[in-house]
Amino acid sequence: MVAIGSKCRTCRGPAIIDLPRHNANFCAEHFMELCRRQVSKAIDHFKMLGRDDRILVAVSGGKDSLAVWDLLIDLGYEADGLYVGLGIGDYSETSAEYARAFAAGRGLNLIEVKLRDEYGYDIPTAAKATRRVPCSACGMSKRHIFDKVALDGDYTVLVTGHNLDDEAAVLFGNTLRWDVEYLARQLPVLEARNGFPKKVKPLVRLTERETAAWCIVRGIDYLVDECPMAAGNKHLAYKGALNTIEETSPGSKASFYFNFIDNMAPLLAGRAVADGQQLGSCSNCGAPTTGNVCAFCHLVETASAHAPVPVELVMRKGRGKR
Amino acid sequence: MKVKLRNPSREIEIAGPRRVHALLAKLQLNRESHLVICNGTLVPGDAELLDDDVVEIRPVISGGA
């Protein structure tokens, strides 16, 4: 490989990455500096974390969750990880190995919850038993367990690895539907309320190309392959559409998302469904719910009564994990 | 050069020399959705790839967020 003219914007040394949205190239050292600065800026600007917080990071073994955990530790925070074993065949086995290796290599505490062991089902079985899109059963299961482990463990903040692309894609989908109630709660910080822990997204100022680059530069091994149940989902299609725009108009994703946060989100304050709801407690597990029994307990009851379903049986082209 | 692609994993042979941007364009891959790793190191869009390089084009888009 012959290096051509790209120079780091900061030190003029050979660049390893070009970032069109910053109209700049960076060497490894100054790319990492940029990432730290962007994450610190998000944490400070949105008041995500304090030094006294007990932090729990939702870890999947993919690039974003390992990057956010690594960045928080790098920035001097203490944080434990939580891995949920979803039972999606080899994909879950491999992702768990990446999460464990990351934690073990850094002496970090990783909590593991396996759906099959703790609740008697896995995501392929839940999808089949409930006739839900796999992503729906997956998202509901993870959210419930994240909340439960955070609250039971007295963690004050739950951190997720959602990045700028994730947020822009969700915003894009909600905007296509003008789904005001979901738009109203699409914020980088959700404060603790009604039995839910505070949730924050420190990577909202980094694209997923940047979080992947962070992992490569830092030598973090992560699961590159896509979830076999996610192929063809809408979220991926929205990301592809936004990246087509981004390629010809760098910075579009950031302006789409952050101008929404600055200009539209304040106008929608109080419009989220949850804002007006009086939540009770699930009679079975105690989690917040509008009904007598929460949706997660309904899912567990149905899925755990069903014979285990191998992932191959619910993989279908054009159906996905979200 | 050997070029490793993902989803599904496969390897193809592409003639060099060729700039990173030109390689992505030839394969009709969006550069915002991919990183290019040459001989184990990240490389920017204007890096020139040679015949004896081992190249990985790594997708960065994930759908399970």
Rounded mean pLDDT of chain A? 93
Contacts of B61 in chain A (CB under 8 A): 165, 208, 236, 239-240, 243
Most confident of A126-135, A142-151, A262-271, A276-285: A142-151
Contacts of B31 in chain A (CB under 8 A): 247
First-to-final CA distance of chain A: 40
Asked if A147 and A158 touch (Cβ cutoff 8 Å), the reply is yes
Q: What is the DSSP string of A87-147?
A: --HHHHHHHHHHHHHHHHHHT--EEEEEHHHHHS--HHHHHHHHT--HHHHHHHHHHHHHH
Q: Is the pTM of this model over 0.90?
A: yes
Tokens representing residue A93 in the block: 């086995």
Distance CA B61, CA B65 (A): 10
Chain A contact for B25, CB < 8 A? no
CA-based nearest distance A244→chain B, Å: 7
Phi/psi at B41 (5° precision): -125, 140
Given the structure tokens 């089902």, which residue do they identify? Answer: A121
Asked if A312 and A133 touch (Cβ cutoff 8 Å), the reply is no
Chain B contact for A186, CB < 8 A? no
Distance CA A69, CA A74 (A): 9
Q: ipTM of this predicted complex?
A: 0.95
Mean pLDDT of A255-264: 97
Model confidence over A182-217: pLDDT tens digits?
A: 999 899 999 998 789 999 999 999 999 999 999 999
The reported pLDDT for the residue numbered A316 is 53
Asked if A279 and A290 touch (Cβ cutoff 8 Å), the reply is yes
